[in-house]
Amino acid sequence: MTGKPLTILGIETSCDETAASVVRGCAPGPGEILSNIVFSQTEAHAPYGGVVPEIASRAHLEILDGVIEQALAEANITLAALDGIAATAGPGLVGGVMVGLTTAKALALASGKPLIAVNHLMGHALTARLTHGVDYPFLLLLVSGGHCQLLGVGGTDDFRLYGSTIDDAVGEAFDKTAKILGLPYPGGPEVEQAAKAGNAKAYALPRPLVTGHNARKSADFSFSGLKTALRQLVENEAVSIPDASASFQAAVIDILTDRTAIAMQRFRTDFPDGNTLVVAGGVAANQAIGAALGRLCAAEGFVLRVPPPRLCTDNAAMIAWAGVERMASGAGDALDISPRARWPLSN
Ligand code: KG4
Ligand code: ZN
């Protein structure tokens, strides 16, 4: 590690997790997670089969103060001893983002500490530096409920987009599939669990953009055709849930590995010395996807880095860490910064 270690409080409220964490470290990592409190609102949203924005912002408002107090207490640290306060400023559900960002502004103002507004996607992207001290550059496969992208990452302000989804995000495809199959929300872990007992060849499902007449030699993703095929299957016959889950997951794996292989070629052109693939976002918690990407990396001469599942899904340690990196590179934000519903990592 180089430079002086920074101790940062991170706050995350962009979706349905209310989270606060204290992290200490310096680039390139690894960092030390002094506390990592995640309060999941899953139960509040489960009856609706997805996140309800109004319920989410109200819940953030009710519990965030307590979650922050707990994060500071567990880290055994006071506000005065922090180097800065980082909060997700987008992208995400703007009502929730506003709750976290406003709280961070109030804390920054009261304590006289700098505010660092963090892009949620950068939080996911840099987690492998927090956990493994991964050096730049690396190829990033970002797979979450709201995002599905392949990016070359050369530094905190160097993100090159190689591919993104033209319709659903992969986590969304898992959640919709679970709904079609009658499995509970959130669907990713449920589908993965059901797939373990299933036959992946039981049903022939499409691999949009990868095979067939409109196959594309790009790194873009498409999942809506897969979801539609599954819905039609369920409407037409009595399907086995394990077999349908396994067949769906196999299709997702084929799509992800095919697109990642294409992005690896582009990454090699941009960064001839780079050979690390980082997988981030909630779907990175999926062991079958991780194993398939491991095989791809072995074949292509890449090293695979996947943060542990509790740091793949939404959390505030990743926001605190992004705060560490941004503050170390001189960044700080004015207290009048606004939340952003949309905020791409690259243009
Ligand atoms: O990163 P994340 O916690 O929230 C967003 O920023 O979107 O990702 C949540 C998504 C959900 O769609 C969830 O179903 C999916 O990640 N997910 C999984 C698994 N665990 C979570 N998908 C597949 N397999 C899993 N084991
Ligand atoms: Zn996320």
Question: Is the N-terminal amide bond of 186 cis, ω within 30° of 0?
Answer: yes
User: What whole-number distance in Å separates Cα of residue 320 and Cα of residue 120?
Assistant: 11
The residues, ordered by sequence, that sit 6+ positions from 86 with a Cβ below 8 Å of its Cβ are 8, 9, 10, 11, 104, 115, 116, 117, 118, 319, 320, 322, 323, 326, 327
pLDDT, tens digit (0-9, with 9 covering 90-100), for 284-313: 999 999 999 999 999 999 999 999 999 999
For residues 83 and 48, which has the higher predicted lDDT (pLDDT)?
A: 83
273 CA from centroid of ligand 1 (Å):
31
Q: For residue 61, give every residue at least 6 positions away whose Cβ sits within 8 Å of its Cβ, in sequence order, or none.
A: 99
At 56, the pLDDT band (50, 70, 90 cuts) reads confident
> Could you give the CA distance from residue 207 to residue 254 in angstroms, rounded to a whole number?
7
pLDDT tens-digit readout, 115-143: 999 999 999 999 999 999 999 999 999 99
pTM (two decimals): 0.93
The atom of ligand 1 lying closest to the CA of 120 is 6
Among protein residues, the one with the nearest Cα to ligand 1's atom 14 is 188
Q: Is 314 helix (H, G, I), strand (E, B) or coil?
A: coil
Q: Counting atoms of ligand 1 from 1, which one is nearest the CA of 281?
A: 1
Ligand 1 centroid to Cα of residue 88, in Å, is 18
CA dist., res. 347 & res. 334, Å (int)? 23
Structure tokens at 330: 């001189």
Looking from the CA of residue 286, the nearest atom of ligand 1 is 26
Alpha-carbon distance 34 to 55, whole Å?
30
Torsion sign, CA atoms 188, 193, 194, 199: positive
For ligand 1, what atom is nearest to the CA of residue 146?
7
What are the φ and ψ backbone dihedral angles of 107, each rounded to 5 degrees? -65, -40
Helix, strand, coil share of the chain (percent; to 5): 45, 20, 35
Ligand 1 lining (C-beta closer than 6 Å): 15, 144-146, 171-172, 174-175, 186-189, 192, 281-283, 285-286, 313-314
| CA of 53 relative to ligand 2 center, distance in Å | 15
Domains, in order of start, for the chain = 6-132+311-328 (3.30.420.40), 138-307 (3.30.420.40)
Residue in 313, 342, 343, 345 to alter for ligand 1 test, most ligand atoms within 8 A of Cβ: 313
Least confident of 9-18, 100-109, 205-214, 271-280: 205-214
Q: Where are the alpha helices (H) located in the chain, listed in sequence order?
A: 42-45, 53-75, 94-111, 120-132, 170-181, 187-195, 224-236, 241-270, 287-300, 309-312, 317-328
13, 36, 39, 153 from 149: Cα distances, Å: 22, 26, 26, 12
Residue 1 pLDDT level (bands cut at 50, 70, 90): very low
β-sheet with 148-155: strand ranges across: 158-164, 148-155, 138-143, 276-280, 303-305
Q: How far apart are CA 118 and CA 121, in angstroms?
A: 9
Q: Give the distance (Å) from ligand 2 centre to CA of residue 55.
A: 18
The angle formed by the CA atoms of residues 91, 153 and 125, to the nearest 5 degrees, is 40
Report the percentage of the chain scoring pLDDT > 70.
Answer: 99
Q: Can you tell me whether residue 67 is helix, strand or coil?
A: helix
Helix (H, G, I), strand (E, B) or coil at 248: helix
Closest-lying ligand 1 atom to the alpha carbon of residue 285: 26
Is residue 2 over pLDDT 60?
Answer: no
The CA 202 to ligand 2 mean position distance, Å, reads: 32
Q: Which residues pair with 334 in a beta bridge?
A: none
Q: What is the pLDDT of residues 229-283, one digit of tens each?
A: 999 999 999 999 999 999 999 999 999 999 999 999 999 999 999 999 999 999 9
Output DSSP code: residue 47: G
Tell me the per-residue pLDDT of 95-106, one tens digit each, with 9 for 90 and over. Answer: 999 999 999 999
Give residue 187 CA to ligand 1 midpoint distance, Å.
8
With H, G, I as helix, E, B as strand and everything else as coil, classify residue 197. Answer: coil
Do 287 and 192 touch, CB atoms closer than 8 A? yes
